[in-house]
Amino acid sequence: MIQLKKLSKQYGDKVIFKNLSLDLNDGEILTVMGPSGIGKTTLIKVLTGLEDAEAGQVEINGKEYEIGDPAISEQIGLVFQDFNLFPHLTVKENIALAPVLVKKRDKKEVAAKVDSLLKQLGISEQADLYPYQLSGGQKQRVAIARALAMNPEVIIYDEPTSGLDEKSTEQVEKIMLALKQEGVSQMVVTHDLPFAEKVADTNFDFLKERENEKNK
């Protein structure tokens, strides 16, 4: 279980969020909704260590961390909106890179894990292709596989259906629901309401949260 406690972030005098708290249970899909510019992407950046915050704690499986602790980002797998795949590496190489370089795992062990993920996500046939040879939906699945390869406590998706056609969106939906059945905790930042309604166990609405904070 992951709990965010009283997170506060501002740029100068502009408050992005204040005393933000939310829970993500094991094996749960939490969608984070709200209009553009309200703070959804900033929340991702704070959790993954790409941005600092003024205050807050994160509790992961009963252990509490101060916001900004590098140990938090090590337990989060991030699937970027634009995938961020390395163009000069094949699908297999993209997925295997971080576990070998960052986690220092055995290359044979990682290779077996990669093969398993490729099969699980239905992209085994694309294993030796480069990103430019993939469709948007295939790139999304490679990005998910890359996140899973690090064995994170939670996967966070930044607008996972952005730019995808209906068929690819349905594939992403099926993958998320399958991961849920395996007990993977997932946070989905999205503006795609129909998609959110299909996958979410719970929803966090940034706009409502801001209004509640103003009324306190």
Which segments within 12-127 are labelled E, that is strand?
14-24, 29-33, 55-60, 63-66, 76-79
Which pLDDT does position 90 carry in this prediction? 98
The single-letter DSSP state of residue 81 is T
Q: CB–CB of 215/58 below 8 Å? A: no
The single-letter DSSP state of residue 190 is -
Closest CA to 176 of 155, 162, 197, 191: 155
Which pLDDT tens digit goes with each residue over 33-62? 988 888 898 999 998 888 999 999 999 988
The whole-angstrom separation of Cα 110 and Cα 92 is 10
Structural domains of the chain sorted by starting position, each given as residue range(s) with its CATH number in brackets: 2-215 (3.40.50.300)
Compute the mean pLDDT over every residue in the chain, rounded to the nearest whole number: 91
Global pTM reads 0.89
Helix orientation angle between 107-120 and 136-148, rounded to the nearest 10 degrees:
140
